[in-house]
Amino acid sequence: MTDSAHDDSRRVAGAPGLADSPKPLARRELWLLFAAAAALQFVAWAFVVSVLRRIVPLLWESASPDVARYAFIAESIRRGSWPYAQFQFEYPPLTLVPLLIPFHSATVAAYARDFRIEMLVVFTLTALVTTWAAVRLWGTLGRSLAAAAAFAAAVAASGMIGLNRFDGTVAFVVALCVLFLAYRRWALAGLMVGLGFSLKLMPIVLLPLVLVLARRWRLVWWATLAAAAGAVIPFLPFVARDPGRFWASLVGGQTARGLQIESVAASPFLLRDVLQPGSVTVVVPPGGSMSILAAGAQVANALAPLTVLALTMVVYLVIWRVRGALRADAEAVPVAVLALMLAAMCGNKVLSPQHMIWVLPVVALALVAKRPAFRVPAAIAFVATILTQLEYPGMYMSLMHLEHTAILVVAARNLLLVAALVAALVVLWRLQRDDQAVAAAPAADPPA
What residue ranges do the domains of the chain occupy? 25-256, 257-436
Question: What local confidence, expressed as pLDDT, does residue 254 receive?
Answer: 77
- pTM of the predicted protein model: 0.90
Q: Cβ contacts of residue 236 below 8 Å, gap of 6+?
A: none
C-alpha to C-alpha distances, 303 to 103, 173, 270, 273, nearest whole angstrom: 39, 28, 18, 21
pLDDT at res. 286: 62
Q: What pLDDT is recorded for position 223?
A: 97
What is the predicted pLDDT for the residue at 96? Answer: 95
Q: Give the DSSP per-residue string, 414-426.
A: HHHHHHHHHHHHH
Separation CA 375–CA 236 (nearest Å): 41
Q: What is the length of the chain?
A: 448
pLDDT given for residue 109 in this prediction = 87
What pLDDT, on the 0 to 100 scale, is given for residue 448?
A: 32
Q: What is the mean pLDDT of each run of 10 residues along the chain (448 residues)?
A: 44 47 77 96 90 59 75 91 89 95 85 93 98 95 96 94 93 98 96 97 96 94 97 95 87 82 96 92 78 92 95 97 93 97 96 95 97 97 94 86 94 98 97 60 42
Burial of 168 (0-12, 13-18, 19+ CB in 10 A): buried
Helix (H) or strand (E) holding 291: strand 291-294
Sequence-separated contacts (24+) of 109-115 with Cβ below 8 Å: 109/62, 109/63, 111/63, 111/67, 111/70, 111/71, 111/74, 112/62, 112/63, 112/64, 112/67, 112/68, 112/71, 112/164, 115/67, 115/70, 115/71, 115/163
Q: What is the pLDDT of residue 140?
A: 92
Asked if 135 and 181 count as a contact pair (C-beta separation under 8 A), the reply is no
Q: Which letter, b or e, does each residue of 243-258 get, where b requires 16 or more Cβ atoms within 10 Å of its Cβ?
A: eebbeebbeeeeeebb
pLDDT of residue 12: 35
